């Protein structure tokens, strides 16, 4: 028996902020929204998926952003994505490269930390 892979990442968000989630995850960073199953949709939140990339946002009543823990997304054309993020009004924080990667961080509209990495 062994763990085979990662199915999805779930991040928390405050109640009633689904439009802000859609703007950031779908419109700015380009992960399309998919419908949540009906029995889960009543809880609020949004799901964003493209192929194996799955980011689920769930409503947390006592919401606090994840400022250290974070998902790291592999991207192509990091400079173009950074320009798009900044044009949408989000602050990008540059970081030292890791071996084989350029990388930076952005906070989603709720303050959750997101790492963006492009292979060198």
Cα radius of gyration rounded to whole Å, the chain = 15
pLDDT (tens digit per residue) in 69-82: 999 999 999 999 99
pLDDT value of residue 96: 86
User: What share of the chain has pLDDT > 90, as a percent?
Assistant: 93
SS3 content of the chain, % helix, strand, coil (to 5): 20, 35, 45
77: domain CATH number? 3.10.180.10
Q: What is the chain's mean pLDDT, rounded? A: 96
Is 1 among the domain residues? Answer: no
Alpha-carbon span 120 to 11, nearest angstrom: 28
Average pLDDT rounded to a whole number, residues 45-58: 97
Q: What is the domain extent for residue 66?
A: 9-119
Asked, for residue 92, whether it belongs to a domain, the answer is yes
Q: What is the pLDDT of residues 87-120, one digit of tens each?
A: 999 999 998 889 999 999 999 999 999 999 999 9
**Is 31 a domain residue?**
yes
């Amino acid at each position: 028996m062994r763990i085979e892979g990662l199915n999805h990442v779930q991040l928390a968000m405050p109640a009633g902020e689904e439009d802000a989630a859609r703007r950031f995850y779908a419109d700015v960073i380009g992960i399309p929204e998919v419908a949540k199953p009906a029995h889960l949709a009543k809880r609020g939140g949004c799901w964003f998926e493209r192929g194996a990339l799955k980011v689920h946002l769930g409503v947390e009543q006592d919401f606090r952003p994840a400022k250290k823990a974070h998902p790291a997304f592999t991207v192509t054309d990091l400079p173009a994505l950074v320009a798009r993020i900044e044009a949408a009004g989000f602050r990008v924080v540059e970081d030292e490269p890791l071996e084989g990667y350029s990388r930076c961080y952005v906070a989603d509209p709720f303050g959750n930390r997101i790492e963006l990495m492009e292979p060198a």
